[in-house]
Structure 1
Amino acid sequence: MNSSTVNIARYDNDAEEIHDTEIKCPQDEEIHQHFKVYKKRFWILGIYSFLAFFQCLQWNLWGPLSDSVDTAFEGFGSDTVAMLANWGTITFLISAYPSVWIVDKRGIRVGVLIIAGLVTASTAMRAISMLFHSDTVVKVMCHLGAIVNGAAGPIVMTAPPVIAAVWFPPDERTTATGCGQLITLLGSAGSYLQPLIVRSPKHADKEEIRSDIARLLYIYVGVSLFCLVTVALYFPEKPSTPPSVSSSKKRIDLKGSAGKLVRNPNFGLTTISMAFCIAVPAGWYTVLNYSLGEIGIMQDEAMGIGFLAVLCSTLFGLLVSRITDILYGHLRVSLMFLMIGNIVFFYWFFLLSWGCINVSQWQVYVTVICGMSLNGSTIPLFTELAVEFAYPCSELVVAGFFTFAMNGLGMIFLFLFLIPDIGYEWVTYVLLATMSTSLILLVFIKENYKRMKEDKQGTATAE
């Protein structure tokens, strides 16, 4: 048997590890390749994650300030706040395909620059509206800003698995995907700190609250400009040498990937299950203040609950992602256990909402924080399971499919708030129904780890 050596490694100063992997080719020829892992992968993931965090904060801008904006601006009720959040899902559905196409053709660097540009434009629109003493102008510009910010959503939500596949080795991929997705969600937690800057009606009058909101919006313009300049200065497209076997393989093109995924029953069930599991809790979080208000928890206290819920969700999700990388191969079972726990805590909140249990502060904290933590931790696991089913289809297309499904279901949920006098009690029914449906669908999924099997064809060593 003839043996040849292909050395594709370049020994750059920022290379942290070199993986030597022997790959068996169809012709029984051994090829010895070098795979490199670069320290700059943490910069790529870090700057993307911060930008995605900020975009998500803008999406959930008004919900945590519900009492303040109701006082400061005429006509800002729960229907307006829900619609401002819903623009993110509506715009996502419209811009999903163009966004995926652009990133597929032009690369992830161009995609991240587009995110930064759209977020900057949206923050500028809101800030400019505060220069006019007109509630109508503010309301119109806030809607326009929400639309523009929402247009960045498809790239924000599809980028993490792509960055993980391009820059990270197999034993870090789920963790990297989890970081990109869960730190994005942390933006919602950041939005619940806004009452530290914007006072509630208990502590300020209308003009003082308007001044606080204006100050907050001007700060956001500065942050968005910083992100735009930073990404423009340094955000490389991909490493010069791939970190693994699968990352070195060319993916099926956009059209071919879409065709194969539509015909893949396991991928379809995973996508629908993820949409039911994630969409409604994510939408509920944007209007959480109103559900908590029904049981006597007002804006100031809701701030603490909302912030801790997403903070714990992010930290627990990262822990679950890391454990998954270490003990890979049990994604479906892990998801089922997480979702059963999720249903238990949401059912507990359901009992509190309907007065079946006397409401106490600690119960509200436990049910919301634990329920959201378990729910958020399923996101990177669902993503990895979908990518494994789809390989060698593009991770970009995979993420595009399930985020499209999630936003479609989330849009329907938020539209329900526009029904006159609908109240908020029905939300807990929907939470339980969608979570239960997701769990049932998981029972029929058969695991298949195609990408991981290919990465383990050879023996990798680190120098």
Structure 2
Amino acid sequence: MGLQSSKQTDTEPRKANTLAPEDNRPLLKNTDDEEIIDNANIINSPSTHFRVYKRRFYVLAVYSVASIFQVIFWNTWSPIADTAMVVFGWSKGDIAFIAMWGGIVSAFLCIPFAGIMDKYGIRRMFLLAETFALIGVGIRCLPVGNDKVIWTANIGQFFIALAGPFLVQGPPLLSVTWFPPNQRTTATAVATISMEFGVALSFILGPLTVKEPKTINATTINNLTEFDTYMGNYYDDYDDLPPDIKQDHIDSIFRLLYIEFGMIVVLYIIAWIYFPSKPPTPPSVTASTPREDFLPGAKILVTSINAFWLPGLCYGISLGVFGTWASQLDIMFKGTVDVGQDIAGWIGFYTYIGGVVGGLTAGRCADYLGGKMKLVLLALTGPAIGIFVWFLLICYKVLQFNLPSLYVSATTYGFLLNAAKPLYLEVICEGVYPVAEGIAIGLLNWLSNCIGLMFLFVMMIPHIGVYWMNWTVLGSVIATFLILLVFKEHSKRLQLDKGSDTRAITIPTVPTEEYI
């Protein structure tokens, strides 16, 4: 298992001289699964072949579905905030506090989880994360009294939050472990943007399952006829809701929680049946090179101003603020343009769908351009400033308010900003190499969550209102653009994969338990 030549450095990759023996192959063996990567397509050494496996798409798919579910569970309450506040007597602060658990847990555990992930691999951490999610979603379904739902909601949210750090931090590690260099950014984009797709679905699943109580003064029913009022479908005030109507809304909330519990049970079974940690043979040079240990890697990150802190601040300031702001769209719209939770849900859906399309497009472009991710990031962030100014003017009715403009501006902003998310993950992993991907993204996640928590803490200030929320988002994207201008991009992993000679390097056979 050692190096063949004493002249080799410990950062040099090790060459695969053979596939794993037949008795060490993973489950679901298939001879058509292997694809030999022609060395000319990846590195300059004419003698080395790496391998990719078609099962990499299965691993990516399961991971992406888990990410989608994770965010749906995390964002259960915000899209149905109006109904929850009415039937349970909650406040905006209660909704904000439930959402805060994700940031609180990540702020304390994302860095330790990163070290564990780098040490024990993808499979073990994935199963641990899904176990936490199963417990959390199950706790929320417990049949407690209506006055105690606030407790099960918070306890369940805590366990759901424990699953978050790995799923947020895992995409770069998954992509470098399973995918060749010319597919890495795209794989990272798919796994990362899956979370944005999950947020989009949560804005639809919640309001479709849980209907909003209507009032005579609600903006969606200003033109009620006397017949509508006579039929008793709407009420002058939420406090006027009869007990049977209120119970119907409570039942619909629990119906949503049961649906989510069924989702996690199915995924949990699939993950236990088959979710390998790594392929028998790595797909690239840098997939096989040793990484820095946890403490030396952390020291490199803390002292890397250009490679980590500049792009890290861009990620945290822009996406940390955006993610928190987007999870509170219902409250924000209610206080600015008086739009109800149904319309806010659809706007949130299209905002994140725009981000999904943008992230996949940007990831593929970055793979195609190779090492020019700063250029793509500037091309996304600059126009985002102008688009959000348009959105701001619509919300504050400086421009004439109309729903189509609100939809278009929010969706376009989501497209531009979320498209940058996988690029930041990759540009940081490239710049700080050979620091392990887990610890790099762990510190990045900590930074982003701390900024998001600040946003939520401000929301809890009594009588603070909501107008500050949009101005904060605008300030964050302007600051991001200015920081990007001084950032200098370095693609260390990509350069090694494309230019290293690996003829004198060996890779030991991977033990079965490491990838089954």
Place the TM-score, normalised by the shorter chain, in its bin. over 0.9
Displacement of 1:426? 0.6
- For 1:9-158, list aligned pairs within 5 A: 9=19, 13-21=31-39, 32-74=47-89, 76-128=90-142, 131-135=143-147, 137-158=148-169
Aligned residue number for residue 356 of structure 2: 314
- Residue 450 (str. 1) matches residue 461 (str. 2): no
- For 1:1-400, list aligned pairs within 5 A: 7-9=17-19, 13-21=31-39, 32-74=47-89, 76-128=90-142, 131-135=143-147, 137-193=148-204, 194-202=206-214, 205-266=245-306, 267-293=308-334, 294-400=336-442
Amino acid corresponding to residue 265 of structure 1 in structure 2: I
- Over the matched positions of the two proteins, sequence identity in percent amounts to 31
CA distance in 2, matches of 1:20, 1:322: 21
Q: Is the CA contact (8 Å cut-off) linking 1:93 and 1:408 kept in structure 2?
A: yes
Q: Is the CA contact (8 Å cut-off) linking 2:39 and 2:45 kept in structure 1?
A: no
Q: Is the CA contact (8 Å cut-off) linking 2:111 and 2:446 kept in structure 1?
A: no
Instruction: After superposition, give the CA deviation of every residue in 1:410-459 in whole Å (9 maximum; x if it has no partner).
Output: 00001111001111111111011111111111111111111111111269
CA distance in 2, matches of 1:78, 1:352: 24
CA distance in 2, matches of 1:139, 1:325: 45
Q: SS at 1:17's partner residue?
A: strand
Amino acid corresponding to residue 94 of structure 1 in structure 2: F
Displacement of 1:97? 2.7
Amino acid corresponding to residue 151 of structure 1 in structure 2: L
Using structure 1 for the length normalisation, give the TM-score.
0.93
CA distance in 1, matches of 2:376, 2:45: 37
CA distance in 1, matches of 2:45, 2:39: 10
Instruction: After superposition, give the CA deviation of every residue in 1:157-212 in whole Å (9 maximum; x if it has no partner).
Output: 11000000000001110010011110112111111112111121136921100011
Instruction: After superposition, give the CA deviation of every residue in 1:88-139 in whole Å (9 maximum; x if it has no partner).
Output: 10111122133123212221111100111111111111100xx22332x100
Structure 1: gaps (5+ residues): none
Q: SS at 2:281's partner residue?
A: coil
Q: SS at 2:170's partner residue?
A: helix
Displacement of 1:337? 1.5
Displacement of 1:250? 1.2
CA distance in 2, matches of 1:221, 1:114: 17
Displacement of 1:7? 2.8
Q: Is the CA contact (8 Å cut-off) linking 2:316 and 2:448 kept in structure 1?
A: yes
Aligned length, in residue pairs = 449
Q: SS at 2:31's partner residue?
A: coil
Instruction: After superposition, give the CA deviation of every residue in 1:377-433 in whole Å (9 maximum; x if it has no partner).
Output: 000111111111111110111111111100000000011110011111111110111
Instruction: After superposition, give the CA deviation of every residue in 1:266-303 in whole Å (9 maximum; x if it has no partner).
Output: 12111111111111110001110122222032111112
Q: Is the CA contact (8 Å cut-off) linking 2:176 and 2:184 kept in structure 1?
A: yes
CA distance in 2, matches of 1:392, 1:261: 11
**Pairwise CA RMSD:** 2.2
Amino acid corresponding to residue 160 of structure 1 in structure 2: P
CA distance in 1, matches of 2:453, 2:260: 26
Displacement of 1:77? 2.2
Aligned residue number for residue 446 of structure 2: 404
Q: SS at 1:32's partner residue?
A: coil
Q: Which of 389, 400, 415 is the aligned partner of 2:457? A: 415
Q: Is the CA contact (8 Å cut-off) linking 2:45 and 2:500 kept in structure 1?
A: no
Structure 2: gaps (5+ residues): 1-14, 23-29, 215-232, 234-243, 503-516
CA distance in 1, matches of 2:213, 2:399: 30
Aligned residue number for residue 514 of structure 2: none
Displacement of 1:329? 2.2
Q: SS at 1:36's partner residue?
A: strand
Q: Is the CA contact (8 Å cut-off) linking 1:15 and 1:36 kept in structure 2?
A: no
Instruction: After superposition, give the CA deviation of every residue in 1:331-360 in whole Å (9 maximum; x if it has no partner).
Output: 111111211111111111221232311211
Amino acid corresponding to residue 85 of structure 2 in structure 1: D
CA distance in 1, matches of 2:198, 2:341: 18
Q: Is the CA contact (8 Å cut-off) linking 1:14 and 1:40 kept in structure 2?
A: no
Aligned residue number for residue 25 of structure 2: none
Amino acid corresponding to residue 280 of structure 2 in structure 1: S
CA distance in 1, matches of 2:159, 2:445: 18
Q: SS at 1:33's partner residue?
A: coil
Change (3 A) 1:367 1:252: same
CA distance in 1, matches of 2:501, 2:182: 13
Displacement of 1:22? 7.5
Displacement of 1:257? 1.0
Amino acid corresponding to residue 196 of structure 1 in structure 2: L
Q: Is the CA contact (8 Å cut-off) linking 1:339 and 1:439 kept in structure 2?
A: yes
Aligned residue number for residue 429 of structure 1: 471
Instruction: After superposition, give the CA deviation of every residue in 1:230-257 in whole Å (9 maximum; x if it has no partner).
Output: 1111111100001111111111111111
